[in-house]
Structure 1
Amino acid sequence: MSLKSGHRIVPLLFEEAEKQYQHFHRYRTGTIRLDPDGWFFTTPFIIFADKYYDFKFKPSDVLIMTYPKSGTTWTQEIVWTMMHNPNFNNPKATLPLLVRSPPLHFDFIMYGSAADPTAPGTSLHDTFVQAHPNRNPKDGVFLQLAELTEDPRIIKTHLPFSLLSPSLLETCKVIYMTRDPKDVAVSYCHHSKLLKMINFLGSTSDFVEHFVNDTLVYGPFWTHLKEAWNKRSHPNIHICFYEDMKANPKEEILRIHKFLDLDLTESQINKEMSKREDDNIMGSDNEIMNTKILNKDGGFFRKGVTGDYKNKLSEEDIQKINEWTKENTRDMDDEFKYKIK
């Protein structure tokens, strides 16, 4: 079977499928690979793949694109605030972020879970039907939220360029945030244990093994990143490094401000810089998070400390990711922050 993107759906080898079954409880409905490129997804991706490819972007849109756990939410809040709440007086700021800045890709990852928005009786489904009675949730609740959100739309995705409209960069602006892969591995592992729709049951070393073997959903990591990096000269893409944002947030916010061609005052920029603790990402729905992991290791937001992998990964796992990084950055120029020579 081929998708509109030109990718072919390939079943996993038995050994790969068995590891997915053992380690990812919610992925037991199946996982697939898309060739070429090797994109790795749960089977429900097939239902929505062509809808993602056909999604109509507008010139006023800003798409926040990342591999998971690379500073996505932080970037969304910055951009949404700049464009919709520069004076911190927009009453919609109290709404969950997934409503203000919808994740284009969420329908497939939540499909079949306790919070499946296509299933009557779940809070997301019922809220959507009440707000949009003429829409069919089976066409994708989050796809339609992205379509219907107010202009300028700030949309999030973990999907790579090659699975979206080929005219994307000719149509709207894209901000691509990336992060040290070792910190990504730590954060993505916690995230995968926290969210019931993933329910990762293995060890941190098991997760690192999946990471470097490109058997995590939204991977391969390096293919994802390189698709964006190789487009960095295009005027409609802005690449941010998470570490730069942590080290000098005002400078990076000013760079985003310039990229988006905004006209905020110094006072508004300083308000953007003010510290905000915002856990209002998915609302208060306990269908989504594993409370045992939440109480033990923290929730959606944690420290976000650069280099925290040193406290979380074994020396063997650090070396494994470093060797993987070295191999995959040989063809990248020296300005790429994570290149290992």
Structure 2
Amino acid sequence: MNKGIYWLASYPKSGNTWFRTFLKNLLNDGKEPVSINDLSTGEIGSSRNWLDGVLGFDSADLCQCEIDQLRPRTYDWTAEQSEEYRYHKIHDACWQLDSGQWLVSAEATNGALYFVRNPLDVAISYANHCHSGIDKAISRMANPEHCFCKNKHGSLTNQTEQRLLTWSQHVTSWVDNPVIDTHVMRYEDMKHKPQQTFTQAVNYLKLPNDSERIAKALSFSDFKALQQQEVDNKFRERPPNIERFFRKGIAGDWQQTLTKKQIDQVIKDHHEVMERFGYLDSQGIPQVM
């Protein structure tokens, strides 16, 4: 029986890598934590290697619009060949191509876990990830044309360009998508209610609901443990221009780090979606979680 893809979807720096660490430990069910350099349960949705492997030719010869048109077909083919569920990370917004087809093919997809995090905290982590100032990160998060891994001066990376839209548009592109079933996980609930929140995700992914196994996977993916692993072994997914990937991993860092002007700008840009997910109250006041 063919299975299909569960997407692990998020705007960058929203808990995706943390969840993949948990998932890998859960699936492995070993006596020791898995290495942070062995987190893959499948290639990222923007992987050029995945695309090239399915197509049978080098996507470097294609323009970005041609690549985007071929990505849904790549996912369809992969799902058709799979005899087990697959779990693929993705940072793209779930947008429609000019043809009307969704970038993420509904036919290939069982569902998606969507990780949402307070954009006040995302701005700080995204600035660090992109090696930029916080104001620049806030501006990018409000830009509907913003792309991740955008090729510059003809250079190629191991990932294709990823269209993020604004932070708010990214969130709603997944959680309100008419063809993709989505289960939402708030980063703050992952921090403060881990057993309950991760168990709900396990049930959604149709994995065994074993409370002891889940608790062990959570302990193996504890943030301090991940930080220590990064000290001991360089993390392959860390961008080359930043010191640490696993930086703080806390909820509410914005209270100490952002200026009032920066807080006001993020709220202005994303008020509606922030209120929807509990990051603002009905009066527009940011909530501490």
Q: TM-score range by the shorter chain?
A: 0.5 to 0.7
- Cα contact 1:61–1:153 (8 A) shared by 2: yes
The answer as to 2:235 corresponding to 1:302 is: no
> Which of 94, 103, 121 does residue 44 from structure 2 map onto?
103
1:122-180 superposed Cα distances (whole Å, 9 cap, x missing partner)? xxxxxxx9xx8x9655479xx88995999432101011222545642773121011000
The alpha-carbon deviation at position 102 of structure 1 amounts to 1.8
**Structure 1 pair 187–264 and aligned structure 2 pair: CA distance change class (3 A):** same
- Cα contact 2:4–2:108 (8 A) shared by 1: no
Match in the other structure for 1:51:
none
**What are the within-5 Å matches in structure 2 for residues 1-341 of structure 1?**
59-82=3-26, 84-88=27-31, 93-94=34-35, 96-97=37-38, 99-107=40-48, 136=57, 138=59, 147=78, 151-163=84-96, 164-165=102-103, 167-168=105-106, 171-193=109-131, 200=132, 203-214=133-144, 216-217=146-147, 218-231=164-177, 236-276=181-221, 277-278=225-226, 288-290=239-241, 293-294=242-243, 299-326=244-271, 328-329=272-273, 336-341=277-282
Taking the aligned partners of 2:209 and 2:130, their CA distance within structure 1 comes to 37
SS at match of 1:183: helix
- Cα contact 1:174–1:237 (8 A) shared by 2: yes
The alpha-carbon deviation at position 231 of structure 1 amounts to 4.2
Q: Which amino acid aligns with 2:226?
A: D
What's the TM-score, normalizing by structure 1? 0.58
The alpha-carbon deviation at position 68 of structure 1 amounts to 0.9
Question: Unaligned regions of 5+ residues in structure 2, if any?
Answer: 61-66, 97-101, 148-163, 283-289
Taking the aligned partners of 1:206 and 1:284, their CA distance within structure 2 comes to 25
**Structure 1 pair 102–149 and aligned structure 2 pair: CA distance change class (3 A):** farther
- Cα contact 2:135–2:262 (8 A) shared by 1: yes
Taking the aligned partners of 1:106 and 1:170, their CA distance within structure 2 comes to 16
Q: Which amino acid aligns with 2:88?
A: I
Taking the aligned partners of 1:137 and 1:66, their CA distance within structure 2 comes to 27
The alpha-carbon deviation at position 284 of structure 1 amounts to 5.4
Q: Which amino acid aligns with 2:169?
A: T
- Cα contact 1:64–1:155 (8 A) shared by 2: yes
- How many residues are aligned here? 238
SS at match of 1:239: strand
- Cα contact 1:80–1:154 (8 A) shared by 2: no
Taking the aligned partners of 2:264 and 2:106, their CA distance within structure 1 comes to 37
Taking the aligned partners of 2:93 and 2:268, their CA distance within structure 1 comes to 24
**Structure 1 pair 254–186 and aligned structure 2 pair: CA distance change class (3 A):** same
**Structure 1 pair 99–253 and aligned structure 2 pair: CA distance change class (3 A):** closer
The alpha-carbon deviation at position 307 of structure 1 amounts to 0.8
Taking the aligned partners of 1:340 and 1:325, their CA distance within structure 2 comes to 13
The alpha-carbon deviation at position 258 of structure 1 amounts to 1.7
1:184-229 superposed Cα distances (whole Å, 9 cap, x missing partner)? 1111110001xxxxxx4xx322332332344532121111111222
What's the TM-score, normalizing by structure 2? 0.67
**Structure 1 pair 284–178 and aligned structure 2 pair: CA distance change class (3 A):** closer
Question: Unaligned regions of 5+ residues in structure 1, if any?
Answer: 1-57, 108-116, 119-128, 194-199
- Cα contact 1:182–1:318 (8 A) shared by 2: yes
Taking the aligned partners of 1:336 and 1:169, their CA distance within structure 2 comes to 29
SS at match of 1:68: coil
Taking the aligned partners of 1:73 and 1:285, their CA distance within structure 2 comes to 12
The alpha-carbon deviation at position 311 of structure 1 amounts to 2.1
SS at match of 1:172: strand
Identity of aligned residues (%): 22
CA RMSD of aligned residues (A): 3.9
